[in-house]
Amino acid sequence: MEAIAGHHGSVFEVFEDQPAVARTSLGSVKLAVGLGRSHDKTLLVGTVLNGALSAVNRCFVDPIVSGGLVGGDESSKLPVGPLNILGENRTFCPILATFYFSNFQKHDMSTAKTAITPTRAEDYPEWYQQVIKGADLAENSAVRGCMVIKPWGYSLWENMQKALDRMFKDTGHQNAYFPLFIPMSFLEKEAQHVEGFAKECAVVTHHRLEPDGKGGLRPAGPLEEPLIVRPTSETIIGATYAKWVQSYRDLPILINQWANVVRWEMRTRLFLRTAEFLWQEGHTVHATADEAMEETRKMLDVYTDFAENFMAMPVIRGEKTPGERFPGAVTTLSIEAMMQDRKALQAGTSHFLGQNFSKAQEIKFQSQAGQIEYAWTTSWGVSTRLIGALIMTHSDDDGLVLPPRLAPTQVVLMPIYRDEQQKADVMAYCESLCKQLQAQRAFDEPLRVEIDRRELRGGEKKWYHVKRGVPIRVEVGPKDMANQAAFVARRDTGESRSMPIAMLVESIGEQLKSIQDHLFAKALAMREANTVELANEKEFRAYFQPDDEQGRSVGGGFAKCWFSSEQEVQGLLDELKVTIRCIPLDAAQGTGTCFVTGKPATTQAIFAKAY
């Protein structure tokens, strides 16, 4: 709290604990507000965040008490006059404006107040954790490395599931469920596969507990064969398919399962890397290699569609190099996204497994020619890691920003009133508006609208929904109601304005589409601005500087480079903690010069630091 002496001897106490954005029609000039007190009158003091100071020649004041919005104090010594603006009562206070600007340098404005601290620029990894906390998405559990996904976070995952599940079924797939436990012998049949997952496997060795005689418990009943807690399901599903497939008439098998998996991570981070996580994994069986490869590409297209059109997250489609392939795969295709710290995140993978798993699990069939042949298989999957990707693609220093197609709530109505009579009238008005909005459609679905009925101050409600990323907030007070209007704010741009109810209802679908499109365009522009072509090792080293002590990425982004072989560049990549993300499916054709060896090269790939 900072006390500032104003003109005419009045004293204002400026509180910094509740940042907000003033409701103003001053165009690009944004006002933050801090709670101030002059004698016994509570006022909101405008504080300029950005925009030209000269553009502000008046000050609008919202008097506030804990019970809600109230009218102006006629006994105030300040020369104020009533002003109706944006559907609510405002007061015009030139002396307050004069007070503020004359004291501008006394009020510390070196950094704008944000809802999330630290900011992305200050400490990106910690900012990420605080966004999750502020949005109430998830928290660490009592089990090391595992997380509790809270209702808002799980609703987001459910919307992802719903969209993906529809896309899977539209491409001919069905859902099934397979065991959580996998006999260790199943993994041993595919040597390359078990080598890739061995260090991450959780192993069950006993089937019961018994008293230890000291008041505790101890494992008892050793299993004949240890069971692996599912790290992925190729082996257990392959053993099942071996029973199902006898003839070419049994093919193709196109199955997906929604499940949890366990990979014993040592360094965990919510949503990005946890010991247990949720995902979907598709497993298909085909009669020919061409059919299986077509399936692999098709599912990569599905993931691309979902990432770009639902998550508003641009991705690069490409093939992994041999060193980055899924263990046991012949070909791995992936989609790669750039986060706001310019690091890459692998958002989805689709694997052509050839006959490797068919031979290990004896998936054989009689062909049309009467020959016994091994089948061709694929697998593909995405996980709750997508929530982490979404956070780091769109969120800002005020919290989570959600694309409307996935937001659990697309529009929130926030009633504003000062007494029980106003409450009854405003709530009835909001109920009517809610029904009108719910009758509208966006993205070919009914709108998801809610009313915030909690008995909280308007500022508390606002920042609660800002931090949770609700795309559109609608404030409704007595004056709004009298004018058949509402005050509408966008989460993605911070823009806000008064709008007639009829216009709001009619345009709400287009407004949500505008937010969806803007988020994608902004993310794409960010990626394009941070993608370069590098020709030699000197440029590469200069571009990928080491992270600083706090783990923040210094420089870097996506680098397109020609390279002669993975082995010849691996030493440099290990030193700089850079990986080959993928060879883009639309990569330049022809020849170039390897950026490390100077040898002729026929492959151009995307290089980046990554999660």
Q: What is the CATH number of the domain that holds 421?
A: 3.40.50.800
Residue 187 lies in a domain: no
Least trusted range by pLDDT, from 82-86, 318-322, 537-541: 82-86
Measured CA to CA, the distance from residue 241 to residue 378 in angstroms comes to 12
Decide if pLDDT at 110 tops 80.
no
Q: Smallest Cα–Cα separation from 178: which of 135, 98, 236, 260? A: 236
Name the residue with higher pLDDT: 497 or 6. Answer: 497
pLDDT band at 111 (very low <50, low <70, confident <90, very high): low
Residues 150, 63 share a domain = no
Residues 516, 539 share a domain = no
Residues 369, 490 share a domain = no
In the three-class reduction of DSSP (H, G, I as helix; E, B as strand; rest coil), residue 569 is classed as helix
What pTM was computed for the model? 0.83
CA dihedral defined by 85, 86, 88, 94, rounded to 10 degrees?
-30
Exposure on the CB side of residue 27, measured as CA atoms within 13 A: 7
Residues 540, 517 share a domain = no
Boundary of a domain, candidates 507, 528, 549: 528
Contact (CB, 8 A) for 355 and 367:
no
Residue 298 lies in a domain: yes
Measured CA to CA, the distance from residue 316 to residue 585 in angstroms comes to 8
Residues 252, 171 share a domain = yes
Average pLDDT, the chain: 84
Mean pLDDT of 239-246: 97
Decide if pLDDT at 33 tops 50.
no
Question: Which alpha helices (H) appear in 370-497, and where do they start and end?
Answer: 385-394, 420-438, 458-468, 478-482
Q: Which domain holds residue 489?
A: 411-528
Residues 542, 521 share a domain = no
* Residue appearing with tokens 């010849």: 568
Residue 476 to residues 422, 425, 430, 556, Cα–Cα distance (Å): 11, 11, 7, 46
DSSP 152-182: HHHHHHHHHHHHHHHHHHHTT-EE----SEE
Name the residue with higher pLDDT: 351 or 33. Answer: 351
Boundary of a domain, candidates 473, 503, 528: 528
- What was the pLDDT predicted at 231? 94
Cβ neighbours of 523 (radius 10 Å)? 23
Decide if pLDDT at 387 tops 80.
yes
Instruction: Pick left, alpha or beta for residue 435 (phi over 0 → left; psi -120 to 50 → alpha; otherwise beta).
Output: alpha
- What was the pLDDT predicted at 2? 35
Residues 545, 584 share a domain = yes
Query: Could you tell me the two tokens for 68?
Result: 């809600």
- What was the pLDDT predicted at 198? 83
Is cis: bond before 118, omega within 30 of 0? yes
Measured CA to CA, the distance from residue 178 to residue 164 in angstroms comes to 19
Query: Could you tell me the two tokens for 193?
Result: 């596969």
pLDDT band at 551 (very low <50, low <70, confident <90, very high): low
Measured CA to CA, the distance from residue 23 to residue 30 in angstroms comes to 9
